[in-house]
Amino acid sequence: MPGPLPRRALAAPGDLEQEGPAVIVRPRPSPLRLLFVVRGTILPRVLPHVLGIAVLACIVVWAFRQGEPRLPIASPAPLSLLGIALSIFLGFRNNACYDRWWEARKQWGALLIELREFSHEVIALLDDGRAESPVAGRQAARRLVHRNIAFAHALAAHLRGHDAREDLSRLLPEPECSRVLASGNRPNALLREHTGELASLRREGRLSDITWNALNARVHALMGVLCACERIRLTPLPFTYTVLLHRTAYLFCLLLPFGLAESLGWFTPVLTAMIAYTFFGLDWLGDELEEPFGDAPNDLPLFALARTAEINLLEALGEPQPEPLRPRDFILR
User: Rounded distance, CA 220 to CA 116, Å?
Assistant: 15
| Least confident window among 106-115, 161-170, 319-328 | 319-328
| Least confident window among 16-20, 64-68, 241-245 | 16-20
Q: Name residue 45's amino acid.
A: R
Kindly report, residue by residue over 182-218, the tens digit of the pLDDT. Answer: 999 999 999 999 999 999 989 888 888 999 999 999 9
Closest CA to 114 of 315, 312, 333, 317: 312
Cα–Cα distances in angstroms (integers) from residue 162 to residues 2, 95, 97, 209, in the given order: 10, 29, 23, 38
Closest CA to 258 of 63, 88, 124: 63
User: Rounded distance, CA 278 to CA 43, Å?
Assistant: 10
Kindly report, residue by residue over 269-315, the tens digit of the pLDDT. Answer: 999 999 999 999 888 888 888 899 988 778 889 999 999 999 999 99
pLDDT for 120 equals 94
pLDDT for 298 equals 80
| Least confident window among 32-41, 116-125, 155-164 | 32-41
Closest CA to 122 of 110, 134, 138: 138
pLDDT at residue 6 tops 60: no
User: Rounded distance, CA 162 to CA 160, Å?
Assistant: 5
Other beta carbons within 10 angstroms of residue 106's beta carbon come to: 12
pLDDT at residue 10 tops 60: no
User: Rounded distance, CA 53 to CA 282, Å?
Assistant: 16
pLDDT at residue 168 tops 60: yes
Could you tell me the pTM of the whole model?
0.82
Residue 262 Rama label (left phi>0; alpha psi -120 to 50; beta): alpha
Residues 101 and 167: beta-carbon distance below 8 Å: no
Q: What is the mean pLDDT of the chain?
A: 83
pLDDT category of residue 255 using cuts at 50, 70 and 90: confident
Distance of CA 185 to the CA centre of its chain: 19
Residues 215 and 198: beta-carbon distance below 8 Å: yes
> Helices marked H in 127-203 — which ranges?
137-160, 165-171, 176-181, 186-203
pLDDT for 205 equals 84
Quote the crossing angle between the two packed helices 137-160 and 302-317, to the nearest 10°. Answer: 180
pLDDT category of residue 79 using cuts at 50, 70 and 90: confident
**Structural domain boundaries in the chain:** 50-319
Cα–Cα distances in angstroms (integers) from residue 327 to residues 18, 24, 25, 206, in the given order: 11, 8, 7, 43
The angle at the Cα of 311, spanning 309 to 314, to the nearest 5 degrees, equals 105
pLDDT for 71 equals 57
